[in-house]
Amino acid sequence: MILGGFRLQAVETGSFRLDGGAMFGVVPKALWEKTNPADAGNRISMHMRMLYGEKGNRRFAVDSGAGTKLDEKMRKNYEIECGPLGELLLSKGIDPKAVTDVIVTHLHFDHGGGYTYFDGDGRVRLTFPNAVHHIQRRQWEAALEPNEKDRASFFPVDFLPIRDGGRLDLVDGEKEIFEGVRLIPTEGHTPGHQVALVESEGRTLMYCADLIPLVSHVNLPWIMAYDHFPLYTLAEKKELLARAADGGWILFFEHDPAVAACRVARNEKGRYDVISILSTEEFQEMK
């Protein structure tokens, strides 16, 4: 995709399944299963979708998928399918060593597991060894000392090597990391969660991460039970979806299995309709 001065690419890093009830909170199954059918274990299909971008001498990536370090039990429980990220990127013409900036929306395993990998000798290596990894300070602190609710989602081997390798940038609040790429904290899901805006020549793309993980979550009250502060999530969605509708933003979805991106329009009821739906393949070709 060409967005002003940026060349963007959607990279499918893997797939997994999560409990449908947890993904939609108070929304009854009779409603959410119409758009997200569940298997016999009540799990729905999820993808992991990275955004890669280039502008001038900057090369950036947003999130990394689950990676390859998880044990067999966890892979089986979540039906995780995820290969070596570095090899995947190289197959798509992307050199991980050339990436200058990595935006870490948050450090849950399905977003941050691919930042590191085990080499042939069992040593932990950085997938993006030359990139600065931009993480909200509150998220970093939450990952270092997780509470009981989050403990099963944070794995230090995914993120401590970033600090130990001198590639960590702790961010406090909203920040433009370079011209046209801005970080915005949205803390309903987990403290220090952030979305990314890519802005150029009057056009804007928002990488929604877990603020709006699936296209069905454009519905305002459809909020995950995983979220720490669901009313924060609701307020954040109201603000950013209003801006997206007014500005014609492209919304980029990390977890939707079929929809990589869309736009939204406000309807007469004050809700948001999904328009201009793009698959991953269609996103790549958009100009």
Say what the pLDDT of residue 245 is: 98
Q: Calculate what percentage of the chain has a pLDDT beyond 90.
A: 97
Question: What does the domain layout of the chain look like in residue ranges?
Answer: 2-285
Say what the pLDDT of residue 209 is: 98
Q: Is 87 helix (H, G, I), strand (E, B) or coil?
A: helix
In one-letter notation, the amino acid at residue 201 is E
**What pTM does this model have?**
0.97
The mean pLDDT of the chain is 97
Is the confidence at residue 149, as pLDDT, over 90?
no
The fold adopted by the segment(s) 2-285 is: Metallo-beta-lactamase; Chain A (3.60.15)
Over residues 193-235, the pLDDT tens digits come to 999 999 999 999 999 999 999 999 999 999 999 999 999 999 9
Give the span between the Cα atoms of 139 and 34, in whole angstroms.
34
Over residues 31-78, the pLDDT tens digits come to 999 999 999 999 999 999 999 999 999 999 999 999 999 999 999 999
Is the confidence at residue 254, as pLDDT, over 90?
yes
Give the span between the Cα atoms of 169 and 21, in whole angstroms.
35
Is the confidence at residue 287, as pLDDT, over 90?
no
> In terms of C-beta density within 10 A (0-12 exposed, 13-18 middle, 19 or more buried), how is residue 188 classed?
buried
